[in-house]
Structure 1
Amino acid sequence: MIHPPDEPTRLGAGGDNAIAWAIGVTADEWTLLILRYALTDGVTRFHQWQELLPISTAVLTARLRRICEVGIFDMAPYADKPLRHEYRLTPRGMSLWPMMATICAWEGGWAHGQAEPVPVMVHHRCGRAFDPLMACSTCGETVEPREVTGEFGPSGSWPRSAPNTTLRRRSSGSSTLGPGFFPHTRVLVGNRWSAAMMGAAYLGAHRFSEFQRRLGAPATVIADRLRRFQAIGVLRTVDGENRPDRSEYRLTDKGRAFFPVVMTAIEWGQRWFIAPEGPAVIFRHRGSEHPFSVLLRCSECGGVLAGREISVVPRAAVQPRHGAIPS
């Protein structure tokens, strides 16, 4: 099925919802890295990705084909002999910029010790390096993750939010990618089970049995992801409130700081993949109790961000900001 790049895809009743599509499309480490260079560096050609990434021709070909099928890229010829194509971002693809901006900011602020520091984003309006601040589009206020509540909507349920076999991607096993390739983000959302477990953590799963019951994943997969999440510091273990002998897994500050990435990915899914029953998940601004959707603001000038007003430059080329975390 080829998805129209300029208009939302209408899903069938009772099938995979917007969350499943968001996970199925973006929760793949090679796809994340291909999109990184398309969105931040304007890469459009096959050989450019091959020069930037340690990716095989077969894997890159398969991922580009899939990205085109879901309407994120359009193919356009740029040479006749031999025939070669560019892969250009569509409106659906360009609207992924909030997710990529929040990933860049989170990696730069929390994934310390990388040999190749994450690039810095510069806001054209104020000319400064910035971090995107998550705000409520209804009231305009900057919000913390704890101030957002979520619950399943008419098309939402755990079974419908887990990608079916046609959307699933096997892990490429590319743990040797090395530094500079969003290493911590790849741990959290580089495959479907990791992404689904992060969503479950934000929606209140704390115990091993809760993750397993909600996601239906094998016990070995749950154990592996919990171990990885603890290793990079996004989850910590505490004694169970009612059963001290049973550990609970709680989000750390680093884990909560990843929330804007998850929110922007879900909102992208709900914008472009629409179920007839209604949204998969509904968010509200705690305290105000009005609907919540993400608005990103510049940390330096407070202005509302737009993808076309952001440049990505090497960290070494930018003067350190006041209070910035050194790389």
Structure 2
Amino acid sequence: MTRPPTDPPGGTPRQVVHPPDRPTPLPPGGTNAVGWTLGLIGDEWNLLILRHAMLGVRRYGEWRQELPISHAVLTRRLHVLTEMGMFERVEYQRKAKRFEYVLTRRGRDLWPVLVAIWGWEAEWVQARPERLPRMAHRTCGRAFLPVLSCAACEKPARAADVTGGFGPSGTWSRSVPAATTRRRSASAEGAGMFPETMALIGNRWSAALLGAAFQGAQRFRDFEQRLGAPPTIISDRLRVFCELGVFTQVPGEDRADWQSYRFTEKGRAFYPVVMTAIDWGQRWFLADEGPALVYTHRDCGQDLRTRLICDQCGGLLQGTEVLVGNSV
């Protein structure tokens, strides 16, 4: 029987091996599904390895050929991703004991998050070390951008169309990964990584501040009170978000000298990344108390379950329906 986890990915080594084809039970009072998900997708190398795995890479040497990654980093990340139930380690050569890493059901189920990240970066991020691959929808044959929709009514689900917030296992302290803040490596930045996505979710305080903003926080003191972070960290993260064009500063409604921070169109467009990640995490990490976040789609009144549709033909996107081609 699998023991409940104690630390999210990126922290100290763990003994638990997450079941690849069924949800991981979470202990009461510990890191919730959001924290575990951010610990996984907030690591740039994890996303790069999973991105190439979705394109068919399975063997250690293939990742070494595709990525400017050291032996130590690749070995560690493959170990963590296997522990997390994203890969199954399968022997393909007995004599020399060689293994390949096959995506599990849990690992394959992450594809909407990767597609949502790709869609946002393709539309909103101009400067990058490497051009993104072109993606087309097999059904209509056209290049597309993913649109977040509600599984119940199949209508678009923008941030303004959704209401909700913390559920029974949801608090700010339980929703951030316990791992220390990661530094972006120069090698990963040159590997075609999604640079601005990492600026938003690759730092524990950035991810928390982003979540607070989507829950309605706008003023400095709102972020400070909700996150419990030092003022210098809040100031730095707000500065970065403004520099990226995700936030804009406007005079406060109560006092003009108290600045408010509002989402720009670019910032609101990141919503599908946030919601597909939350949806994935709450399918695969279950707390006895209940979900970390609960959202309702205003149009139909149902709990929001995310789907991605093609902006060209309106058809439902599936992992097997996304074709990778030339760079865009």
Number of aligned positions between the proteins? 312
CA distance in structure 2 between the partners assigned to 1:173 and 1:185 by the alignment = 12
Aligned counterpart, 1:173: 184
CA distance in structure 2 between the partners assigned to 1:96 and 1:154 by the alignment = 24
Aligned counterpart, 2:286: 274
CA distance in structure 1 between the partners assigned to 2:316 and 2:25 by the alignment = 30
User: Is 2:14 aligned against 1:2?
Assistant: no
User: Is 2:305 aligned against 1:293?
Assistant: yes
CA distance in structure 2 between the partners assigned to 1:245 and 1:294 by the alignment = 39
Once the two structures are aligned, what percentage of the paired residues are identical?
A: 50
User: Is 2:63 aligned against 1:49?
Assistant: yes
1:220 to 1:86, Cα distance in 2 relative to 1, 3 A: farther
Q: Which amino acid aligns with 2:206?
A: S
Aligned counterpart, 2:36: 21
Aligned counterpart, 2:174: 160
The answer (yes or no) to whether the contact 1:12–1:276 under 8 Å persists in 2 is: yes
1:58 to 1:115, Cα distance in 2 relative to 1, 3 A: closer
CA distance in structure 2 between the partners assigned to 1:235 and 1:53 by the alignment = 32
Q: Which amino acid aligns with 1:187?
A: A
Counterpart among 112, 118, 122 of residue 136 in structure 2: 122
User: Is 2:262 aligned against 1:247?
Assistant: no
Gaps of at least 5 residues in structure 1 are 316-326
Q: Secondary structure at the match of 1:314?
A: strand
**What's the CA shift string for 1:180-223, capped at 9, x where partnerless?**
32111111112322222211111112122322322233333322
Q: Which amino acid aligns with 1:36?
A: R
1:205 to 1:124, Cα distance in 2 relative to 1, 3 A: same
Aligned counterpart, 1:138: 152
CA distance in structure 2 between the partners assigned to 1:163 and 1:251 by the alignment = 24
CA distance in structure 2 between the partners assigned to 1:294 and 1:136 by the alignment = 5
Written as runs of structure 1 = structure 2, the 5 A alignment for 1:56-71 is: 56-71=70-85
User: Is 2:220 aligned against 1:220?
Assistant: no
Written as runs of structure 1 = structure 2, the 5 A alignment for 1:284-323 is: 284-315=296-327
1:138 to 1:235, Cα distance in 2 relative to 1, 3 A: same
CA distance in structure 1 between the partners assigned to 2:117 and 2:71 by the alignment = 26
Mean Cα displacement is larger for which, 191-200 or 66-75?
191-200
Q: Which amino acid aligns with 2:18?
A: H
Alpha-carbon shift at residue 45 of structure 1 (Å): 1.8
Aligned counterpart, 1:206: 218
Alpha-carbon shift at residue 97 of structure 1 (Å): 0.5
Q: Secondary structure at the match of 1:6?
A: coil
CA distance in structure 2 between the partners assigned to 1:31 and 1:212 by the alignment = 30
Q: Secondary structure at the match of 2:39?
A: helix
Alpha-carbon shift at residue 307 of structure 1 (Å): 0.7
Written as runs of structure 1 = structure 2, the 5 A alignment for 1:57-136 is: 57-80=71-94, 82-114=96-128, 116-136=130-150
CA distance in structure 2 between the partners assigned to 1:60 and 1:172 by the alignment = 16
CA distance in structure 1 between the partners assigned to 2:169 and 2:251 by the alignment = 35
1:136 to 1:210, Cα distance in 2 relative to 1, 3 A: same
Q: Which runs of 4+ in 1 moved over 4 A?
A: none
CA distance in structure 1 between the partners assigned to 2:191 and 2:260 by the alignment = 31
Alpha-carbon shift at residue 33 of structure 1 (Å): 1.5
The answer (yes or no) to whether the contact 2:130–2:190 under 8 Å persists in 1 is: no
How big is the alpha-carbon RMSD for the aligned residues of Structure 1 and Structure 2?
Answer: 1.8
The answer (yes or no) to whether the contact 1:132–1:297 under 8 Å persists in 2 is: yes
Q: Secondary structure at the match of 2:238?
A: helix
Gaps of at least 5 residues in structure 2 are 1-15
**What's the CA shift string for 1:125-169, capped at 9, x where partnerless?**
2222211111111111123221112211111111221223xxx15
User: Is 2:289 aligned against 1:283?
Assistant: no
The answer (yes or no) to whether the contact 2:31–2:176 under 8 Å persists in 1 is: yes
**What's the CA shift string for 1:100-133, capped at 9, x where partnerless?**
0111111111101335321122111222221111
